[in-house]
Chain A
Amino acid sequence: MSSQSDVRFTDFKSDKQPTWCPGCGDFGTMNGMMKALAETGNDPDNTFVVAGIGCSGKIGTYMHSYALHGVHGRALPVATGVKMARPDIEVMAAGGDGDGYSIGAGHFVHAVRRNVDMSYVVMDNRIYGLTKGQASPTSRSDFETSTTPEGPQQPPVNPLALALASGATFIAQSFASDALRHQEIIQEAIEHDGFGFVNVFSPCVTFNDVDTYDYFRDSLVDLQEDEDHDRHDYEDAKEVILDGDKEYQGVMYQNENSVPYHEQHGVTENMSEIPDGAPEDAMDLVREFY
């Protein structure tokens, strides 16, 4: 295993060339993740990345680390299992808005409230890209697609609010194109003691002509520049998260008293290490039944 000093972010890059469309936001999202992992002292051999299904899910292939590319929507349960069995391993889950807020929405709520010490990066492009352009749970209500010719006609999911309502201890949003800020925010999510959730605006240049790079560049408000916003203040968080008029980037909320799952439940062992036979005192288990 390499020591912190000689890990470069390119160590997290596999030799597989991404097949994402040229200009896809996922390139920037992934770069930020790799840099943040390297910057926080991790290396590929002690990092586990769990990827969902969809364009975003391909990230497990393009990064180099221990990784699992699983079933649609179930990245968070897999990541939860990895971290519980191996508290010594850095765990990061990544997926798209469909993966996380539609088919995996139930897992999202419970992973948030469980507060397992890991990071979760959602590459939110507000569209189903890999299946060639259908509405996603974050698509705008009037966004016309092949399956919603009039638009979904239902409000998009507000993932930040969903996280807040589920008891999140770290809620952030970033923009794939703002490389430095994106990396910083992911880094903070990794360093957070608990479930570090980052919704990343990761534009789809092929199927979404509304939520574009230009749109986010023009509309994003960076909370870092808002001196009145206190990330440790729940009311402040609520205000920006429920603000339907603006799009924000930055850390909306961080609970200073976050106690991660493994500390709460005393899950500290490396569970891969077991004896060659039954545990020494295992006959006690039998005697219990006298």
Chain B
Amino acid sequence: MAEDLNWAVGGEAGDGIDSTGKIFAQALSRAGRHVFTSKDFASRIRGGYTAYKIRTSVDNIQSVVDRLDILVALTQRTIDENLDELHEGSAIIYDGERSWEADIPEEMSAVDVPLKSLAEDAGGAIMRNIVALGAACAITGFDVEYLDEALEKRFGGKGSKIVENNKEAARLGQEYVQENYDLDLDYNLETTDNDYVLLNGNEAIGMGAIAAGCRFYAGYPITPATSIMEYLTGRIEEYGGHVVQAEDELSAINMALGGARAGARAMTATSGAGIDLMTETFGLVATSETPLVITDVQRSGPSTGMPTKQEQGDLNMALYGGHGEIPRFVVTPTSIDECFWKTIEAFNLAEKYQTPVFLVSDLAMSVTEQTFEPDAFDMDDVEIDRGKLVDEDEVEEWLDSQGRFRAHANTEDGVSPRAIPGMADGAHMSTGLEHNELGRRTEEQDVRVQQVDKRNRKVETAKEQEEWDYREFGNEDADNLVISWGSNEGALVEALDYLEDDGVDVRVISVPYIFPRPDLSDEIAAAEETIVVECNATGQFADVIEHDVLERVKRINKYTGVRFKADELAEEITEKLSQEVPAQ
């Protein structure tokens, strides 16, 4: 198991918590250490409690754990909120000169640093968090020069004076602790020569979109999807693309649909109620056979729910949302690097099968920053398949006897030729109405059946032609099978270490495709016990699996708004294995 350090900075929204945490994460990454971060935040601009947490190790890590070793606390609430995770070896850095009197449990190391005064000495009180980072370096024996690199990256654009002041602030914090405290804490942060990149799931989706040739993005700001739009803005233009902020999600999905009809690879992304509004247009996307990637970064619902909290409650919406019967694909990346690759795959599926592809991510992945080897995103491995996009010669093959383009031709594989505006002889209408091969409205029964079958046949073709595999961890021959989807994978993989220590043998299957999905009948039949793990109350994926295999499974559901943690999950799995299977 990784020798790791768990560090956090917490205070009120508006205290610069996020950027402070990000700078430290960056410094650790520069030092060749792996980083996995999480955020506690509220839906408000100022006030409330917010924290940025970092778990770091020289080994690869992909989960948070229930432990906090070093805490930079700008408020008492930061300490109180984290009492469960703090332990007797924990150090709490705080500013004793500030108005609040810190109430710190005796067994912990209270490190009182005059953050504000030292920051003022360095050039301004605004840098007090950087002083705290310097103090953290002193406690952990972490070379402050890595912090310098992160400060240069963060403030380089603001001029050398700002960078130097921040470096000075860090030095003052480091020296203060070195001179005034002799802490007997065994946190010696090793470094390596590895160069890592540090990014979150939404950045990975945005980068994947550009790599995949997405050139048009329309969206409406909503937590936690907005950062995809923010990532693309300012970058997609470099590749000839554009981001437009629509007036609402109804508009966003229709703009994206327009871009796709015009021949661009287009995407929209949303969350929460935004996906409800977009549901109106799902059927049109499918019926007009438009290639479109619709990303849902799930957050806690229903209604406004807990907008800044984790949940995987939209699976049924992705599978069944919209009136009528809508052929679609549902792709659910299971890790941050997979957010990149599955986004690319989503664009290929959309164009190959001319139907909506739901890319379903979640809040935990969207805000977590994680380190990777750069070649985890090797752009040379990106493949683009534009499906049956016709060229000038091919278009002629698809004209009817009167020279009209058969945009919805009833083909064997269900996929019709696709002509985009500007293509001579390709002009046609597509519509949300039932239509014939030409896209003309019809209510003739045989044509209706032909077109419904044709559209559904695309899914059957895809089932045969594409790989709908799963990711697997642990012992393939174990009697205990744990199935998961989405971002729980990392915590499960690390839970395997804890389980192994306890002598519990487990096979983990992590599913990145919910529709079409891998057939797990054999795997479930081979296991004595099957548990489905997901962040929702009712077990939406467990329901799907029970439907597939006609057998009851055990369920672990978490809907507190906080993602699974590896140690916690290991305990729950052990407990669940000892319980009876629910009644048939």
Contact = CB atoms under 8 A, between A and B. Distances in A.
B211 A69 contact: no
Interface residues of A, number: 60
Given A269-B215, A271-B215, A274-B215, A82 B258 contact: yes
Nearest to B251: A77
A78 B257 contact: yes
A67 interface: yes
Given A60-B429, A81-B254, A86-B262, A46 B422 contact: yes
Contacts of A269: 215, 240-241
B441 interface: yes
Interface stretch (A25-33, A181-189, A282-290): A282-290
A82 B215 contact: no
Contact of B256 (A45, A49, A81, A89): A81
Interface stretch (B115-123, B156-164, B195-203, B478-486): B195-203
A267 B243 CA distance: 10
Contact of A78 (B258, B423, B424): B258
A106 interface: yes
A15 interface: yes
B566 to A, nearest CB: 24
A45 B199 contact: no
B259 interface: yes
A85 B264 contact: yes
A64 interface: yes
Contact of B237 (A47, A266, A285, A290): A266
A172 to B, nearest CB: 23
Given A45-B426, A276-B384, A279-B239, A81 B432 contact: no
Interface in A215-266: 265-266
A45 B240 contact: no
Interface string A95-126: 00000000000110110000000000000000
Secondary structure dominating the interface of B: mixed
Interface stretch (B280-288, B313-321, B569-577): B280-288
A272 interface: yes
B221 to A, nearest CB: 14
Given A81-B266, A271-B216, A289-B197, A88 B431 contact: no
Contact of A265 (B242, B246, B379): B242
Contacts of B255: 77-78, 80-81, 84
B458 interface: no
Given A78-B258, A279-B211, A70 B421 contact: no
Interface of A: 1, 14-16, 44-50, 60-61, 64-71, 73-74, 76-86, 88-89, 106-107, 109-110, 265-267, 269-272, 274-279, 282-283, 285-287, 289-290
Give the 3 A-B CB pairs with smallest separation, nearest first: A81-B258, A272-B263, A274-B213
11 contacts: A47-B421, A67-B430, A74-B251, A77-B252, A84-B255, A85-B216, A109-B247, A274-B213, A274-B265, A279-B239, A289-B203
